[in-house]
Amino acid sequence: MNFVDQVTVAVEAGDGGDGCISFRHEKFINKGGPDGGDGGDGGNIIFEASTNQDTLANFRYKKLIKAENGSRGGINNRHGKKGKNQIILVPVGTLIYHQDQLLVDLTLNHQKQIIAKGGQGGFGNAHFISSTRQAPKFAEKGLKGQKLELKLELKMIADVGLIGLPNVGKSSLIRRISQARPKIADYPFTTLKPSLGMMDFRGLAILVADIPGLIAGASCGKGLGFDFLRHIERTKILAHIIDITSLSPVDDYLTIRHELENYQISLKNKPEIIVFNKIDLLDQLEVDQIIKNFKKQLKNQSLILKISTQSLFGLDDFKGLIYQEINKINQLQPDIEPTKETIKIINFDHLNNQTDRKFIVKKIAKNVFKVTGQDLENLVNKTDFNNSEAINRLHNLLIKRGLVNELKKQGAKEDSLIYLADHKIDFLF
Ligand SMILES: Nc1nc2c(ncn2[C@@H]2O[C@H](COP(=O)(O)OP(=O)(O)OP(=O)(O)O)[C@@H](O)[C@H]2O)c(=O)[nH]1
Ligand SMILES: [Mg+2]
């Protein structure tokens, strides 16, 4: 079982429906008013973490995921239907990237996130009626939904992390309590990458991680530990394994604690069980004396256990204690309820605030200009270029928004080429 699983997937939010151009037809009324309804918005792409999912394997075959388009507006001011959101279930612990930028880290059951936003529906012609425009014969087109290439990465979140100095018996322990089979040997740094094992106890599946031995300086990159501190951070409980035959169990313990605290303060508050291993090598009295001294010196409140992965002593107690602590934590931290509040929109480039009217004009060659800005791009994309009234309206809006002035300032002329949202627009003085 691996810690990391990766896939790429493309998502497409739904397109907005076009607005409708229509005029009322009523008996005895010669020329009815405009009654073309608005198009519906396209559906969003939403990711939701779920404990019912445990791999990203499904995505290896499903490379494109789409949400529903919004419907066109109708006559009689009928609003087009909204496109259904597409909810994509992924395992808890999934990170979502777009062009190497982390968009979200889904760490809680039912946590939801909109990743691609559906296009806005266009306004129907009824929307454009005004004192000076009694019979608008144009409507807006719906905007396209966002399309994104995503990288999904699953970082398994273990319930329990086995930590400790090299050679204390972490791998031996995980082999005894799960089906994981990491190598065991009588030298430090036998384990080079974390391995995971599922421990079944009283019907509860508990994921245990064997973390490679940490040493003093791990938090600054020494030894192998640095990369793995990250994994430890995500576990619910730490089982700190100490070799009972060590010259100084207290120093061993403090060395590791120090590294954890150096790396992430939040580790301080993570529940911990201290496990003395290899007790088969000493007699009972010695073992108890060492533990008594340990407690006295550290005035530590943590739960302490003694085990031997060799003689199997204490392994059932270990499982029972972990079970009890995990249950306690699960009760204290209920999963997020699947309410609307947990859906938030990330603010990054592709989800630009559509009410922001800023734009940028850039001269990209002699007599060629490129205009960027979400608001102006939306206006252009909503325009039906086969409809002269729609084009007129666009021109008026571009003047109102200050684009024409800005172009003039930058030296644009009648014959200049102007690009805006993949369209070539005529210069308009
Ligand atoms: N006598 C005795 N030896 C043990 C016990 N547990 C582990 N060992 C031995 O201790 C040595 C190290 O065990 P590992 O399980 O590889 O230790 P580790 O903590 O995973 O070590 P690293 O992967 O290097 O960090 C091996 O030779 C094991 O056989 C035990 O309970 N009693
Ligand atoms: Mg090991």
Residue 349 φ/ψ, nearest 5 degrees: -45, -50
Region 53-79 average pLDDT: 91
Q: Does 277 contact ligand 1 (Cβ within 6 A)?
A: yes
Q: Does 195 contact ligand 1 (Cβ within 6 A)?
A: no
Question: By the 8 A CB rule, do 104 and 347 touch?
Answer: no
Region 136-157 average pLDDT: 92
Q: Which of 75-84, 181-190, 390-399 has the lowest mean pLDDT?
A: 181-190
* pLDDT band (50, 70, 90) for residue 321: very high
Residue bearing the bigger pLDDT, 231 or 97: 97
Task: Please give the pLDDT value at position 378.
Answer: 92
Kindly report the CA angle at 148 between 143 and 151, in degrees rounded to 5?
A: 165
Region 309-314 average pLDDT: 97
* pLDDT band (50, 70, 90) for residue 381: very high
- Ligand 1 atom with minimal separation from the 187 CA: 24
* pLDDT band (50, 70, 90) for residue 273: very high
Going along the chain from its start, the domains and CATH numbers come out as 4-156 (2.70.210.12), 160-332 (3.40.50.300), 353-425 (3.30.300.350)
Query: Whole-angstrom Cα distance, residue 334 to residue 330?
Result: 6
- Ligand 1 atom with minimal separation from the 162 CA: 19
pTM score, two decimals? 0.69
Residue 123 has pLDDT above 80, yes or no: yes
Q: Does 167 contact ligand 1 (Cβ within 6 A)?
A: yes
Query: Whole-angstrom Cα distance, residue 11 to residue 67?
Result: 8
Region 171-191 average pLDDT: 86
Sequence-distant (6+) residues with CB within 8 A of 145 are: 12, 13, 14, 15, 16, 42, 43, 67, 69, 83, 116, 117, 118, 119
Q: Tell me how far the alpha carbon of residue 181 lies from the centroid of ligand 2, in angstroms.
A: 10
* pLDDT band (50, 70, 90) for residue 340: very low
Region 341-347 average pLDDT: 50
Q: Does 314 contact ligand 1 (Cβ within 6 A)?
A: no
Residue bearing the bigger pLDDT, 78 or 374: 78
Average pLDDT, the chain: 87
- Ligand 1 atom with minimal separation from the 210 CA: 20
